[in-house]
Amino acid sequence: MKPVKAGNKLISSNEMMPLVYCATVAYGIIVGPKMLVEFGREASPLLSALGLGLAVGVIILSVKMAQRFPHLTAFQWIIRLLGPLGYVPAVTLLLYLLALQSVHAYNFAVLLQMLFLDRTPLPVIIVGGMAAAFYGVHLGIEALSRFFRIIVYLEYLVLVPLLLLGPSSFTWTHFMPFYPLDTRTWLLGPLVALGSYLGYAHAPLGLLPYVRDHERALRPSLVGLALAGLIITGATTVTLGVFGPETVRLTAYPTFEYSQVLRMPQPLMFLSRYSLFFGIVWVVAIMKLAMLDMFISAIGVQQIVGVRNFKVALAGVTLVVAVGAMLIPNPRVGEQLVVNVALLGVALSLGLLPLLGLLVVLLRRRADKVAQST
Amino acid sequence: MIFLTGCWNLEEIENRSFVLGVGFDLTPEGQVQCTVQLPRPQALNFARGQSPVAPQEQFSSITATGATPWDALAQINKITSRHLYLGHLQVIVVGEEMARQGINPVIDGLQRYAVINRRAAVVLARNARQIMEAPVRGELTPAMYFQTFFSSKPTPESTENVPIWRVRHDLLMPAHAAHIPRVTLADGQFRLEGFGLIANGRLSGDLPGAQARGLALARGQVRDGSFALKTGDRSVTVRVQKVGRRLTGTWWDGGEAHIRLSLDVHGQIEENDQLGLAIPPDLYTRFEAKLANQVKEEAMNAIAVAQKSGADVFNFGEYMRIADPYDWNPDSWAEKFRTADIQVSVRARIDRTGMFE
């Protein structure tokens, strides 16, 4: 089965950087600080840095495995390698992606409703957002990649003040002691942190067949992850430094709250409502993440279920995600699902992915045959 | 469909009332009385040649009562012809009785609403409604007075801009207390001086004007304070420009907290009683000693008032937590703070003399 073209053109390996960066930051910057501070309190910046180390290991494994089968997506090579048994991990991966998107879509809609559209019904926001994402994805991977490249610089512009202007309002006692006080936090803290970095993890597995010079994909992916890690660790640090662990723990969206209290210096006073800039850029970032996930999910549906037409597969994914999002009954359940899905992602990254890697090594000859097939 | 998603939230600007200030009082019946301050753009739109409108006509205030702060605000929404918009809130005035009963519902209700300006200043007044309704000279509305006061100049040492997000932070931090600046109305003019101390969400102590500076000194936050010093037949006024604060010792001993606070004061001669007469070095040393003593006395007084109220507004609890994080119990800190052994040492230096020798 050839990689799906559907009007897609191939992208270069350098474009993996904005893809990985955007996918990681979009999710991590809102969810990461709250999850980390709730678990690690004063030690959360350290845990975030440790989690980044784990995330680097996961992306290296992910890219290396994808490079082993450069012309096939993960859905294809898992099934070919393991035969009918391969449908289990392939479908698990697809269901995880669909669940992830539904939870993200719901929480994104709740945040949008709370911040900007308090009278708009939630289903309208969800359907409107999904329709916009559908339009973006159906244009193809190259168009997506261009959109990511344009927006990533705007994101830098907005996120840099977020990090640089925080320290003047720090209460330094919020960081002390900077290390976890018990063994449980030392062991589980980095895993919790890993959960906030996993926006990208599946990207290489689904995208590498569309990358022209895929053998060079690792370095830009690592650069994208490192930049995202800097931003997420930075956001965790500034929210903790300004608000302290109790306020971050009890605030629904501490990064956004922080953007509201930030006071711009005189030269930047034209950004008097900085929170609006931040909110808008974050909404765009979440849409990018949604589009990336939808693209990979649509590919997965095509390749597992056997749907020929990409747009039909994409429409099916959009419908499933929208319905899944609308089935979530209330924001409390939505928040719990975010944590559950993040932990599932950690389990898949640290469980399923290494297991698949081991199988690839053990079934070397079969893997070589699969890699050579197209 | 995509472009229609925002239409539910469409609201014409003419249909909005911009709330610049909100005040909460407690009625004798135990109800919450809310007063909002709304500017009147039409009253400011005068043609050339006509005199501007009187200050009391540049804004309007509306009052309603309810069971809770947010309920009272909702009652006002029923009265006004336009929808109240709180995104431009500049000041939140809390009445004394309301603060004694508990400030948490006010802070909680306002912070839950995403639109509200997190940098709106919180002030304490004997009667919030009186502050909301008082026309003030030099500003369009009373709410703008507070915004301008805190942003246009270095804040005087006996008051401080405490935004609502900071109050919430202080109330949520275990073993921590909030302090809110006081405002009084005299001769048609506002006066921001002194602090109310809020422990466990309730007004528990007061630092009036003279003692309020001590709080700023002990927190190391004085940027522009004047001290009149006299020794022998000479007197000078020193402007303190910087106070460096360090906790040089924090330890537990038999369940009692011990805290050693060191303040490093830097000042400049602002005026000398004898024009042109130089100040000899030994006199400088005496003035510096005087300054150190005065700073120490004021800081100790403020700490004593806070200890009596059980309101740790100096963040000492956090340092005690760091000193022993494994056995730290935030619930007992308020009591331990009352009996803590706190000592202050001050070193003062007069670094500059202005344009004279």
CA angle B174, B179, B181 (to 5 degrees): 160
Residue A158 pLDDT class (50, 70, 90 cuts)? confident
Give percent above pLDDT 90 in chain A. Answer: 19
Q: Tell whether the model's pLDDT for residue A22 goes beyond 60.
A: yes
CATH topology of domain A13-372: Amino acid/polyamine transporter I (1.20.1740)
pLDDT at A368: 86
Nearest-Cα residue of chain B relative to residue A179: B325
pLDDT at B48: 46
**Candidate ranges A113-117, A168-172, A229-233, A284-288; pick with highest mean pLDDT:** A229-233
ipTM reported for the complex, 2 dp: 0.86
Helix (H, G, I), strand (E, B) or coil at A177: coil
In this structure, is the dihedral angle defined by the CA atoms of residues B291, B292, B297 and B302, taken in order, positive or negative? positive
Q: Tell whether the model's pLDDT for residue B130 goes beyond 90.
A: yes
Beta bridge partners of B163: B121
Q: Tell whether the model's pLDDT for residue B144 goes beyond 90.
A: no
As a whole number of angstroms, the distance between CA B196 and CA A58 comes to: 53
The amino acid sitting at A114 is M
User: Inter-chain contact B1–A247, Cβ cutoff 8 Å?
Assistant: no
pLDDT at B126: 95
Residues of B in contact with A250 (CB under 8 A): 172
Residues of B in contact with A116 (CB under 8 A): 6, 9
User: Inter-chain contact B1–A127, Cβ cutoff 8 Å?
Assistant: yes
- What ranges do the domains of chain A cover? 13-372
pLDDT at B47: 47
Residues of A in contact with B7 (CB under 8 A): 120
Please, are residues B36 and B22 in contact by the beta-carbon 8 Å criterion?
yes
As a whole number of angstroms, the distance between CA B317 and CA B66 comes to: 37
Interface test with B, best of A130, A170, A246, A278 (most B CBs within 10 A): A246
pLDDT at A3: 47
pLDDT at A201: 64
Interface test with B, best of A110, A239, A253, A260 (most B CBs within 10 A): A260
Whether the bond into B52 is cis, omega within 30 of 0: no
Question: Between A197 and B70, whose confidence is greater?
Answer: B70
Least confident segment among A91-95, A143-147, B52-56, B239-243: B52-56
**Min Cα–Cα distance to chain A from B90, Å:** 13
As a whole number of angstroms, the distance between CA A320 and CA A322 comes to: 6
Residues of A in contact with B160 (CB under 8 A): none
pLDDT at B247: 92
pLDDT at B45: 56
Question: Between A77 and B344, whose confidence is greater?
Answer: B344
Q: Tell whether the model's pLDDT for residue A159 goes beyond 90.
A: no
Residue A9 pLDDT class (50, 70, 90 cuts)? low
| Length, in residues, of chain A | 374
**Min Cα–Cα distance to chain A from B71, Å:** 19
User: Inter-chain contact A128–B5, Cβ cutoff 8 Å?
Assistant: yes
pLDDT at B49: 46
pLDDT at A1: 41
pLDDT at B280: 76
User: Inter-chain contact A117–B8, Cβ cutoff 8 Å?
Assistant: yes
Among the partner residues A128, A132, A246, nearest to B172 by beta-carbon distance: A246
Residue A18 pLDDT class (50, 70, 90 cuts)? confident
Residue located via tokens 């000398």: B272
Does the CB of B6 have a partner CB in chain A at under 8 Å? Answer: yes
> Pick from A262, A186, A241: which is nearest to B119 by CA?
A262
**Min Cα–Cα distance to chain B from A72, Å:** 34
Q: Tell whether the model's pLDDT for residue A210 goes beyond 60.
A: yes
pLDDT at A146: 83
Give percent above pLDDT 90 in chain B. Answer: 50
Nearest-Cα residue of chain B relative to residue A182: B326
**Tokens at A360, concatenated:** 């690839």
Interface test with B, best of A118, A253, A261, A278 (most B CBs within 10 A): A261
Among the partner residues A120, A244, A246, nearest to B9 by beta-carbon distance: A120
Does the CB of B1 have a partner CB in chain A at under 8 Å? Answer: yes
Q: Tell whether the model's pLDDT for residue B219 goes beyond 50.
A: yes
Q: Tell whether the model's pLDDT for residue A213 goes beyond 50.
A: yes
CA–CA distance from B250 to each of A42, B258, B322, B329 (Å)?
19, 6, 9, 16
- pLDDT tens for B71-90 read 999 999 898 888 888 888 99
What value does the mean pLDDT take over residues A320-330? 93
Q: Tell whether the model's pLDDT for residue B316 goes beyond 90.
A: yes
pLDDT at B3: 55
pLDDT at B170: 93
Does the CB of B163 have a partner CB in chain A at under 8 Å? Answer: yes
**Candidate ranges A35-44, B8-17, B119-128; pick with highest mean pLDDT:** B119-128
What value does the mean pLDDT take over residues B97-122? 91
How many CB pairs (< 8 A) connect A and B? Answer: 70
For chain A, the residues whose C-beta falls within 8 A of a C-beta of chain B are 114-121, 124-125, 127-129, 131-132, 135, 171, 173, 176-177, 181, 243-244, 246-247, 250, 257, 260-261, 263
Q: Tell whether the model's pLDDT for residue B172 goes beyond 80.
A: yes
Q: Tell whether the model's pLDDT for residue B157 goes beyond 70.
A: yes
Mean pLDDT of chain B: 87
User: Inter-chain contact A261–B169, Cβ cutoff 8 Å?
Assistant: no
- The b/e string for A341-360 (b: 16+ C-beta within 10 A; e otherwise) is bbebbbebbbebbeebeebb
CATH topology of domain B216-352: GMP Synthetase; Chain A, domain 3 (3.30.300)
pLDDT at A6: 42
- pLDDT tens for A47-94 read 999 999 999 998 898 888 888 888 888 888 888 888 888 899 889 889
User: Inter-chain contact A128–B2, Cβ cutoff 8 Å?
Assistant: yes
Residue A320 pLDDT class (50, 70, 90 cuts)? very high
Residues of A in contact with B169 (CB under 8 A): 243-244, 246-247
pLDDT at B111: 87
- pLDDT tens for B13-57 read 778 888 999 999 999 999 999 999 988 876 655 544 444 666 566
**Min Cα–Cα distance to chain B from A261, Å:** 6
What are the start-end ranges of the H helices in chain A?
16-40, 44-68, 74-82, 87-115, 122-138, 141-164, 183-195, 203-207, 218-250, 254-261, 274-305, 310-327, 331-347, 353-362, 364-372
Give percent above pLDDT 70 in chain A. Answer: 95
As a whole number of angstroms, the distance between CA A225 and CA A209 comes to: 20
Spell out the SS3 assignment of chain B: CCCCCCHHHCCCHHHEEECCEEEEEECCCCCEEEEEEEECHHHHCCCCCCCCCCHHHCEEEEEEEECCHHHHHHHHHHHCCCEEECCCCCEEEEEHHHHHHCCHHHHHHHHHCCCCCCCCEEEEECCHHHHHHCCCCCCCCHHHHHHHHHHCCCCCCCCCCCEHHHHHHHHHCCCCCEEEEEEEEECCEEEEEEEEEEECCEEEEEECHHHHHHHHHHCCCCCCEEEEEEECCEEEEEEEEEEEEEEEEEEEECCEEEEEEEEEEEEEEEEECCCCCCCCHHHHHHHHHHHHHHHHHHHHHHHHHHHHHCCCCCCHHHHHHHHCCCCCCHHHHHHHHHCCEEEEEEEEEEEECCCCC
pLDDT at B321: 92
User: Inter-chain contact A173–B9, Cβ cutoff 8 Å?
Assistant: no
Residue A204 pLDDT class (50, 70, 90 cuts)? confident
| Length, in residues, of chain B | 357
What pTM was computed for the model?
0.88
Q: Tell whether the model's pLDDT for residue A4 goes beyond 60.
A: no
The amino acid sitting at B163 is P
Q: Tell whether the model's pLDDT for residue B284 goes beyond 90.
A: no
Q: Tell whether the model's pLDDT for residue A32 goes beyond 60.
A: yes
What value does the mean pLDDT take over residues A147-164? 81
Residues of A in contact with B1 (CB under 8 A): 127-128, 131
- pLDDT tens for A350-362 read 888 888 888 888 8
pLDDT at A153: 81
